[in-house]
Structure 1
Amino acid sequence: MYKNVLQSIENIQVWPVISFVIFFLFFLCLLWWVFTADRDYIEKMKGLPAEDNTINKTASNRPSHE
Protein backbone atom coordinates (compact mmCIF):
# COMPACT_ATOMS: atom_id res chain seq x y z
CA MET A 1 0.00 0.00 0.00
CA TYR A 2 2.69 2.52 1.03
CA LYS A 3 4.83 1.59 -1.95
CA ASN A 4 2.04 2.63 -4.29
CA VAL A 5 1.52 5.90 -2.45
CA LEU A 6 5.20 6.84 -2.63
CA GLN A 7 5.45 5.87 -6.28
CA SER A 8 2.58 8.19 -7.14
CA ILE A 9 4.45 11.24 -5.80
CA GLU A 10 6.15 13.13 -8.57
CA ASN A 11 9.96 13.52 -8.28
CA ILE A 12 10.13 11.40 -5.13
CA GLN A 13 13.65 10.24 -6.03
CA VAL A 14 14.99 13.74 -5.33
CA TRP A 15 14.24 13.71 -1.58
CA PRO A 16 16.69 10.98 -0.55
CA VAL A 17 19.45 12.80 -2.44
CA ILE A 18 18.56 16.09 -0.77
CA SER A 19 18.52 14.53 2.69
CA PHE A 20 21.89 12.85 2.06
CA VAL A 21 23.42 16.14 0.91
CA ILE A 22 22.10 17.95 4.00
CA PHE A 23 23.47 15.24 6.30
CA PHE A 24 26.83 15.20 4.51
CA LEU A 25 27.18 18.99 4.69
CA PHE A 26 26.28 18.99 8.37
CA PHE A 27 28.82 16.23 9.02
CA LEU A 28 31.54 18.13 7.14
CA CYS A 29 30.78 21.35 9.03
CA LEU A 30 30.88 19.54 12.35
CA LEU A 31 34.15 17.84 11.43
CA TRP A 32 35.62 21.19 10.38
CA TRP A 33 34.53 22.75 13.69
CA VAL A 34 36.11 19.92 15.70
CA PHE A 35 39.48 20.33 14.03
CA THR A 36 39.51 24.14 14.08
CA ALA A 37 37.99 24.78 17.52
CA ASP A 38 40.07 26.62 20.07
CA ARG A 39 41.68 24.13 22.46
CA ASP A 40 41.25 26.47 25.43
CA TYR A 41 37.51 26.68 24.77
CA ILE A 42 37.26 22.88 24.62
CA GLU A 43 39.19 22.49 27.88
CA LYS A 44 36.97 25.10 29.55
CA MET A 45 33.79 23.33 28.40
CA LYS A 46 35.18 19.93 29.40
CA GLY A 47 35.80 21.02 32.98
CA LEU A 48 32.69 23.18 33.34
CA PRO A 49 30.36 20.66 35.03
CA ALA A 50 32.95 19.82 37.70
CA GLU A 51 34.04 23.43 38.34
CA ASP A 52 30.66 25.17 38.27
CA ASN A 53 29.47 25.66 41.85
CA THR A 54 26.46 27.85 41.06
CA ILE A 55 24.16 24.84 40.92
CA ASN A 56 25.32 23.63 44.34
CA LYS A 57 25.05 27.11 45.86
CA THR A 58 21.51 27.67 44.65
CA ALA A 59 20.49 24.20 45.76
CA SER A 60 21.92 24.74 49.27
CA ASN A 61 20.28 28.18 49.60
CA ARG A 62 16.81 26.85 48.96
CA PRO A 63 14.65 26.32 52.01
CA SER A 64 14.02 22.69 52.78
CA HIS A 65 10.45 21.45 52.62
CA GLU A 66 10.58 18.99 55.47
Structure 2
Amino acid sequence: MKFIHYLEKITGVSIYPLTSFIIFGLFFLGVLIWVMKTDKKRLQDISRIPLD
Protein backbone atom coordinates (compact mmCIF):
# COMPACT_ATOMS: atom_id res chain seq x y z
CA MET A 1 0.00 0.00 0.00
CA LYS A 2 1.34 3.38 -0.97
CA PHE A 3 1.83 6.28 1.40
CA ILE A 4 -0.69 8.43 -0.50
CA HIS A 5 -3.50 6.09 0.54
CA TYR A 6 -2.78 6.80 4.20
CA LEU A 7 -2.86 10.54 3.53
CA GLU A 8 -6.23 10.31 1.76
CA LYS A 9 -7.79 8.96 4.95
CA ILE A 10 -6.71 11.96 7.05
CA THR A 11 -9.37 14.66 7.26
CA GLY A 12 -8.20 18.08 6.08
CA VAL A 13 -4.84 16.86 4.76
CA SER A 14 -5.16 19.08 1.68
CA ILE A 15 -4.43 22.17 3.79
CA TYR A 16 -0.81 21.09 4.45
CA PRO A 17 0.57 21.67 0.93
CA LEU A 18 -1.08 25.08 0.78
CA THR A 19 0.24 26.04 4.22
CA SER A 20 3.78 24.96 3.39
CA PHE A 21 3.64 26.86 0.09
CA ILE A 22 2.51 30.03 1.87
CA ILE A 23 5.26 29.69 4.50
CA PHE A 24 7.88 29.17 1.79
CA GLY A 25 6.54 32.13 -0.19
CA LEU A 26 6.61 34.45 2.81
CA PHE A 27 10.14 33.37 3.71
CA PHE A 28 11.35 33.89 0.13
CA LEU A 29 9.65 37.29 -0.04
CA GLY A 30 11.16 38.30 3.31
CA VAL A 31 14.67 37.36 2.19
CA LEU A 32 14.16 39.17 -1.11
CA ILE A 33 13.05 42.35 0.68
CA TRP A 34 15.99 42.08 3.10
CA VAL A 35 18.45 41.79 0.21
CA MET A 36 16.92 44.75 -1.61
CA LYS A 37 17.02 47.00 1.49
CA THR A 38 20.42 45.95 2.84
CA ASP A 39 23.42 48.16 2.23
CA LYS A 40 25.60 46.86 -0.63
CA LYS A 41 28.76 47.25 1.45
CA ARG A 42 27.32 44.94 4.10
CA LEU A 43 26.45 42.34 1.47
CA GLN A 44 30.01 42.46 0.13
CA ASP A 45 31.37 41.93 3.65
CA ILE A 46 29.01 38.99 4.17
CA SER A 47 30.04 37.45 0.84
CA ARG A 48 33.71 37.47 1.88
CA ILE A 49 33.11 35.53 5.13
CA PRO A 50 33.78 32.06 3.63
CA LEU A 51 37.09 33.25 2.16
CA ASP A 52 38.45 34.82 5.35
Runs of 4+ aligned residues of structure 1 deviating over 6 Å after TM superposition are: none
Deviation string for 1:1-55 (max 9, x for gaps)? 22221111110000000000000000100110111111121122233454x4xxx
Unpaired runs of at least 5, structure 1: 53-66
Aligned length in residues: 51
Instruction: State the TM-score, normalized to the length of structure 2.
Output: 0.79
Unpaired runs of at least 5, structure 2: none
RCO comparison, higher one (Cα < 8 Å, 6+): 2
Q: Identity over the aligned pairs, expressed in percent? A: 35
Whole-Å separation in 2 of the counterparts to 1:17 and 1:3:
17
Q: Which of the pair has more CA radius of gyration?
A: 1
Instruction: State the TM-score, normalized to the length of structure 1.
Output: 0.65
Root-mean-square deviation over aligned CA pairs:
1.6
